[in-house]
Amino acid sequence: MTTLREETEKHIRKLILPLKEEKELKEVLKARLTKKELKLLQGWADKTPQAELIMQLHLDEEKYGELSTKLIKKLNQEKLKQEMMVGL
């Protein structure tokens, strides 16, 4: 099982500074992501099988793909990245 922090780092293309600690990071993500996006990211971190995630989030294959793409795009937005990173 990986932490939410490690999972988030995996999906960010260009990370300049390290991410905040787990608790602070979760607060930022909770404020900036939808509930489903946060649950999806947490599911990935917990290594939950895709089929189980689809069932838990009440999605179909297509919606799961769209949500995953949207989530990764959001994680790579500069404004959100700055909020997630440890400040100077």
pTM: predicted TM-score of the whole model, two decimal places: 0.92
Say if residue 75 is exposed, middle or buried (CB neighbours under 10 Å; 0-12, 13-18, 19+).
buried
On the question of pLDDT at 87 being above 90, the answer is: no
Q: Is residue 73 part of a domain?
A: yes
Q: How many domains does the chain have?
A: 1
* Tens digits of residue pLDDT in 61-83: 999 999 999 999 999 999 999 99
pLDDT at 88: 52
Q: Is residue 88 part of a domain?
A: no
For residue 43, what are its two tokens? 């599911």
The C-alpha atoms of residue 80 and residue 32 are separated, in whole angstroms, by 8
pLDDT at 30: 97
* Tens digits of residue pLDDT in 17-60: 999 999 999 999 999 999 999 999 999 999 999 999 999 999 99
Q: Is residue 66 part of a domain?
A: yes
For residue 67, give its domain range: 4-83
